[in-house]
Chains A and B, each alone.
Chain A
């Protein structure tokens, strides 16, 4: 967790060319909204997540810091957001966010949670999905 927090500090530096709204610099509100509409979303939310890319992972990590992951369903919802965030890398607003650095770190973190033992295959599939889409972009 020490390294996780250090990594968060590095990632949470103000982006130089960010085009996201000032009120939601890290995509925290957007991913929070996506997670709150359990079991689906309206297209505008989906589109907003699509444009976040790696920034969605930062928003998720900030949420996790406040509300630690407690069960498999929560992990599944997070994986859905991550997939959405990398479903169309070409439309990710900030160029740097097309590289899933924070996302891979978050997936690694999730995979090593005691609660995630039964869902590791899905975590690995999500990791492969993200890498494949980034490569094909």
Chain B
């Protein structure tokens, strides 16, 4: 056999083998760039409610508004409701992207001249127009003037469709001098029938029924309710259950003690008995898990500036809210200046409705956690459904004068948008993010300042349970450079922050925490952040154009409800694609479609994303995006626009001043398919090619690129492209004809789509006419 033929056969054999092997492999994912973005969601009226504000004597309320959007300003109108629901609007506030703004409620009331709002309390409504509710993160700081009494309250939205549910909490009255408020607020315009139950530590219940009127705020004292019910002890449980309009109910429970110089917030939790585990099992462990990220241990961190010799008494209150036994377990991840490590806590067997006190200080004394450790995260796992066990952590010295809290939450997410941090001579902020997943993850932390315009970035890889620990004051004081070498300004006093999970971008594994401590009083207040979820989820292309015998990549985009933009989330939907008619199109693991025969069908996929449907949480929900699929061949070109290129020598010019007889055009075409009526062929890989004949001269070349910047080698994602320049430039009058046969090359196949027979005439300088006697006709 002659050698060249042997080589060719070998090559053919190799290609056959290769193509056979390749056919069994999934294709590569569709390219991440170039797909059309779904149209922006329209801005609609939104509102969130802060359950409580007060201007009563000695109290001060400060509203903090953070705009989570990446590019749009946000204008918020705060409206104060009195306890009976009567409303007064305050001056609207505009917040720039990533900015956090502070509004003193007392000053805002004075500015609008509303004396009826002085010396009273109620709830705050925040009204704004935005595509999604989570564009705004809002919190209200309530402070007792002149005392180490302060706590924050997060705003939440109303869930109109949620009827049944409850708010679950724990009450704690550490001293006889401790006062408390239990606040119930109805966000909605329908009265809510409620059952308010108090339990002692062993689960003995006292309940009362009440109706919470439309927009009403009601304030109770748990101490008085417990005394009236004959419940004894220092702690127990609270349940506020609604049988209708539960999504309009919000509650708050806090303690304060002016004698001791103490305040604490006893976080309450939403409970929906129908919530399945998988919605809140972000780390896919099969066990419902809650964390408290920053429990101050017996030996306080010197950064907190507590009085020398202060010893804290960290403790956990853990409550089984159900009528059945619950098993739970605790684990810790402690830290001190130079080291950190895990520790196992005791197993817990909780009786029905029991509230159990776990003495973490005793665990330190027993050596379960190091005595020298300053902080620990606490992880609480249970064998039940989400919300069936709730917990509160507190760590105070014996006088209650010094201490800090950290809230439990089951929320892990890919992005946290944090509220205001503070740093000055009397304040500092410590912020943390931890990895609640089972694999290492890479975390980005960003501080936003100067009205959100400037940012400071840090990144770190975290092992499971490991935490990133950010001392804002230290970063400023010690001029610690960020990943870009930037440092924070010396005079920086406040800003906002953000954590992003760079490894898990659709179901994240980050938990977070923040405390702001006040050196004047030796008191620390915890703050929260808002988790970000996805909303509307749609295919990248709908309908997707697929060439016959060719391929087109498809993917999925979802609306980031914090940033207010669509994000490509295609990888969460791999391996679940299917075609409704495989005789027309097939689809592979990555969503790459192959055209089998001309026609139309649909394809769909499914996958899990963290969602925004619950105002306080970002549960994991299944999404089912689907869209049309049109298998097409290029058939014709539609002229979308024709522009005359101007005389010039730079940029996208036509004729030059030295050859200015004639005309040159920039023609925009869109490729249509062969169906009847013809439809756009939305494919970004087609190459326009031309065969030109002018007298005895001919040319056969790809049309683009050319010196005109719009002329790209391939079509865009909508099958649109520019032919430029088209025409000619001369030194004097001329009439000339030429033909242009245009083909589109797609997957190596050439499709004839248009024949232009052009006539070009020019009789004077700067003038010319060109026409194909059909849809192209221009004169200058």
**A interface residue numbers (CB < 8 A to B):** 21, 33, 38-48, 50-51, 87-88, 90-91
Contact = CB atoms under 8 A, between A and B. Distances in A.
A42 B727 contact: yes
Given A88-B707, A91-B705, A42 B700 contact: no
Nearest to B708: A88
Contact of A88 (B659, B706, B760): B706
Contacts, number: 58
Contact of B728 (A38, A42, A50): A42
Contacts of A44: 690, 692, 694, 699, 701, 738, 740
Given A50-B707, A91-B705, A91-B706, A41 B729 contact: yes
B731 A46 contact: no
A21 B701 CA distance: 9
B501 interface: no
A39 B727 contact: no
B7 interface: no
A128 to B, nearest CB: 14
B725 interface: yes
B730 interface: yes
Contact of A45 (B699, B705, B734): B699
Nearest to A51: B701
A69 to B, nearest CB: 20
Given A40-B734, A43-B726, A91 B707 contact: yes
Contacts of A43: 664, 725-728
B43 interface: no
7 contacts: A40-B728, A40-B730, A42-B728, A42-B736, A42-B738, A42-B760, A48-B701
10 closest A-B pairs by beta carbon, nearest first, are A40-B730, A39-B731, A88-B707, A42-B728, A43-B725, A44-B692, A91-B705, A40-B659, A47-B706, A44-B699
Interface residues of B, number: 27
Contact of B697 (A21, A33, A38, A40): A33
Interface of B: 659, 661-662, 664, 690, 692, 694, 697, 699-701, 705-707, 725-732, 734, 736, 738, 740, 760
B762 to A, nearest CB: 9
A50 B729 CA distance: 15
B399 to A, nearest CB: 74
Nearest to A36: B697
Contacts of A48: 699, 701
Contacts of B705: 90-91
Contacts of A38: 731
A21 B691 CA distance: 13
A51 B697 CA distance: 17
Contacts of A90: 705
B723 to A, nearest CB: 9
A136 B719 CA distance: 31
B734 A47 contact: no
